[in-house]
Chains A and B, each alone.
Chain A
Amino acid sequence: MKLPLPPILIYALRRVVQAVPVIILIMIGTFLLLKLAPGDTVDALVGDMGGADAAFIARLRAEYGLDQPIWVQLWRYMAKLATFDFGWSFVYEQPVSTVLLDRLGTTLMLMATSLSIAFTAGVVLGAIAARRVYSATDNIISILGLVFYATPSFFLSLMMMYLFSVKLGWLPVGGIKTIAGFYTGWDHVIDVAKHLIMPTAALSLIYLSFYLRLMRASVLEVADLDYVRTARAKGAGETRLMIHHIMRNALLPVVTLLGLQFSTVLGGSVVVETIFTLPGLGQLAYQSVVQRDMNTLMGIIFLCALIVVVVNFLTDLLYARLDSRIELA
């Protein structure tokens, strides 16, 4: 039973083993759910074509394997998935994996920047608000947090578009790059960055308020704990107290939330990507639902499940690093 591996690797291995049944369950569940919805790929295709006769539709169904019982379809799909074959997208006329990989980068970039901005700013603002609790600074920060918290992301996006693109003309309305620009090198980077400012802001402002509120409460709680009093009795100054004794302990619940929220951010990106016409996974998911592109949709769900599992694993690692009481085993 004793493996000659470092404990962290054993832990990682166990997490991988644990993740497999989770992902399989998610895939089976969504497959069945999607089959419950009326209409399939053929209906959508035929609808696009403007109609076809019944024999053609039946032939098309047989070709795609849609005439089989659901269990057979499920079994076939899962068997293919086991070899990481996501199938063919009949809408994009490409393998699903190609379509997904094309879009993944944009979404990951959007999520990573939004979350890091939301987390960093939320933590810093929350800590500041807690240290000056009930002062004007605290009130301003808390009220702003509440406003962003209460504003739906689509509304925030549209308002920003109206202000910065339409009225002021500072930022592009949507897309990931200027289509006719053909920029290269740094110009390309700057161009993409300009396109991402508004979507990132729209996505991060909402999550920022979550972190802000949690961090403020957490700092207030930790600041009253015995060991902070001990540190004061040692003669430590306020800055030192904050950095060494309060922040590290106050961060723990916020990190937990970070892991939990990653999946909701994926959901939020559907709205934001659609509004800003960013070619990412969220927009793809939306279109796939409309066009009944089952294979692509299942591929997106698989990818998202994978991302969430990986992020949760990383959060646990981070948590263990931050909290010395937790041993990964």
Chain B
Amino acid sequence: MTDTPPILQIRDLKIALPKGADRPFALEGLDLTIEPGEIVCLVGESGSGKSLCAGAIMRLLPEPHVHVAGGAIRFMGEELLGKTETEMRAIRGEDIAMIFQEPMTALNPQKTVGWQLDEVLRLHTRMTRAERKARAIEMLERVHIPDPASAYNAYPHQISGGQRQRVVIAMALLLSPKLIIADEPTTALDVTTQLQILKLIRELQEQEGAGVLFITHDFGVVAEIADKVAVLCKGEMVEQGPAAEVLNNPQHAYTRALIGAVPALTPPPVKPVTQAPVVLKGIGLKKTFAARGGLLSGKRKAVVAVKDLTFQLHRGETLGVVGESGSGKTTVSRIVTRLLECDAGKVELDGKDLLACSPRELRAMRKYIQMVFQDPMASLNPRKRVVDLIAQGPIVHGADPDKARADARKLLELVELSPAAATRFPHEFSGGQRQRIGIARALALEPKVIVADEPVSALDVSVQAQVLKLLADLRDRLNLSLLFVTHDLRVAAQLCDRIIVMQKGEIVESGLTAEVFANPQHAYTQNLLSSIPGRDWTPPSFRTDAA
């Protein structure tokens, strides 16, 4: 160990932010060492500076606004910060490779997969065309892409998200780099795909003996893959150590708070809600996105989004709808609120069929069923003040505007925002606060049912825990029923009394959350549950102020 230098050694790294940012340095005094064959996880919430660290190593920071202000980055014993651009170009892609977060956008849409793999070899080697192609196809095989030869000729949009991420990994590993930087490589993927990709990174890294710097915000992923963990909080490293140590016995308060916020895979105690009256009932719901086009326009194949879905939601209950992307869970939430017309079936709200309502009746019914949307950035009108956003619903339904605004201020308190927030605009709030505004907006009409479509998936884990707690709280206090759509099984486990598991528009399993988690019957559910990253790790519980 002593004679080979570590692959990467970061000493006292400082990255300066432009004037006017929330802090002068994005990173301050980061020390990090990666030995050969080691996976080091850099963990932190959004804005902690973890991605900029990767940028600094690759020397791809958006200079001069953001630049390295001090410290040293030694790669294989050589200082990277002093290298010229030409030298760096030779290192990038050959010795240090990077895997990015968004497989959807990380590949050039206008070039074939093969061309983009080929480019790496063309830039760094003197192989002939035939050799390069053979090498690229071999690499595609190693990342387990079905039919590598046809994937080689495909354009990125013709392959799935998981496969695209495999292509990006193949591209990164083509030249057996000594250091691989993976920046949230699995965040955008479904859990089953995520597990496959994590396994793949581990497997390839073991074969190559490379060092991996793995950037993530997800402690489940850390538990799955890390050898060593470094925790970043607002640019400062607060804790570093072997994975088992940090995960099970965190020392710093921030790490404890973060880990405490990770939802444990233990479902809530069974509530006797099944005796409560049924508030919302879906019967035989069907939705097919019809084949479009004909002689005069382009054709599109018909997609069955939901086929024959039946469910019941009791008062005061939370029903989770879980499934991977494309399973039809979002379509369900839109049919139930009649934001999308469905082809067949009934949605009964307190015994009245919502789908048979006339437009006028529907408008009156809308107040009983409200939605909380996924993206708190996009779902609030940026040109309206918070108080108007919240009061808008009641005013439309005929409430006195002054009273509605006064009620809106009370609601802000209910969702634990200061009343001063009322006169501000949505962009002045953080993601978690905005989601609280979204919840207040939904509550303003005093609905019986709230349909929440992935309400916490855009939030950091500690904020996520707070919003979930708020939702559970409000549900119990106001005797609300929640239809909770999520892809995150940890979140579902924490909040939902019952869940239905969807696959390709069908319910494959439903039941009490505790029972489904303890003893999944359907193969798909079993697969989903066994793919949860870090499922063998139970976050230690420190009942601090966080969760």
Contacts and interface: CB of A to CB of B under 8 A. Distances in A.
A225 B109 CA distance: 11
Nearest to B298: A329
Contacts of B171: 230, 234
A324 to B, nearest CB: 5
B168 A230 contact: yes
B58 interface: yes
Contacts of A226: 100, 102, 105-106
Contact of B107 (A230, A232, A233, A248): A230
Interface band, chain A: 20 to 34
Nearest to B112: A324
Contacts of A109: none
B58 A236 contact: no
A64 to B, nearest CB: 38
Nearest to B88: A235
A231 B296 contact: no
Interface in B74-120: 89-94, 97-98, 100, 102, 105-112, 119-120
Contacts of B108: 227, 230-231, 244-245, 249
A14 interface: yes
A237 interface: yes
A18 interface: yes
A230 B89 CA distance: 13
A234 B109 contact: no
B302 to A, nearest CB: 15
Given A14-B295, A229-B100, A324-B155, A235 B92 contact: yes
A240 B298 CA distance: 35
A325 interface: yes
Contacts of B106: 226-227, 229-230
Q: Which of A227, A231, A232, A235 has the most CB of B within 10 A?
A: A235
A235 B110 contact: no
Nearest to A327: B298
Q: Which of B107, B109, B296 has the most CB of A within 10 A?
A: B109
Q: Which of A231, A233, A244 has the most CB of B within 10 A?
A: A233
A249 B110 contact: yes
Interface residues of B, number: 33
Nearest to B108: A227
B157 interface: yes
Q: Which of B100, B107, B119 has the most CB of A within 10 A?
A: B119
A322 interface: yes
Contact of A235 (B102, B105, B123, B299): B123
B123 A249 contact: no
Contacts of B270: none
Contacts of A229: 60, 100, 106
A329 B293 CA distance: 9
B124 interface: yes
Q: Which of B60, B94, B107, B111 has the most CB of A within 10 A?
A: B111
B92 A237 contact: no
Contacts of A234: 92-93, 119-120, 123, 171
Contacts of A323: 109-110
Given A249-B110, A324-B110, A232 B60 contact: yes
Nearest to B172: A233
B526 to A, nearest CB: 35
A82 interface: no
Contact of B60 (A233, A244, A329): A233
Contacts of A324: 109-112, 155, 157
A36 interface: no
A17 interface: yes
A234 B124 CA distance: 9
A232 B108 CA distance: 12
Given A235-B92, A235-B123, A235-B124, A227 B105 contact: yes
Contacts of B155: 324-325
A244 B94 CA distance: 20
Q: Which of A234, A249, A325 has the most CB of B within 10 A?
A: A234
Contacts of B105: 225-227
A21 B79 CA distance: 69
Interface string A234-261: 1111001000110011000000000000
B453 to A, nearest CB: 26
Contacts of A225: 105
A233 B119 CA distance: 12
Nearest to B123: A235
A16 B486 CA distance: 47
A14 B97 CA distance: 48
A236 B296 CA distance: 44
Contacts of A236: 89, 93, 119, 123
Q: Which of B102, B108, B123, B124 has the most CB of A within 10 A?
A: B108
Nearest to A249: B110
A323 B90 CA distance: 30
28 contacts: A14-B296, A226-B100, A226-B105, A227-B105, A227-B106, A227-B108, A227-B109, A229-B100, A229-B106, A230-B168, A231-B108, A231-B119, A232-B60, A233-B97, A233-B98, A234-B171, A235-B91, A235-B92, A235-B120, A235-B124, A244-B119, A248-B110, A249-B108, A249-B109, A322-B110, A323-B109, A324-B110, A324-B112
Closest 10 CB pairs between A and B? Answer: A235-B93, A226-B105, A235-B92, A234-B93, A233-B98, A227-B108, A329-B298, A324-B155, A235-B89, A230-B106
Interface of B: 58, 60, 89-94, 97-98, 100, 102, 105-112, 119-120, 123-124, 155, 157, 168, 171, 293, 295-296, 298-299
Given A230-B168, A235-B93, A329-B298, 12 more contacts: A226-B100, A227-B107, A227-B108, A229-B60, A229-B106, A233-B58, A234-B92, A234-B171, A235-B91, A237-B89, A323-B109, A329-B299
Interface of A: 14, 17-18, 225-227, 229-237, 240, 244-245, 248-249, 322-325, 329
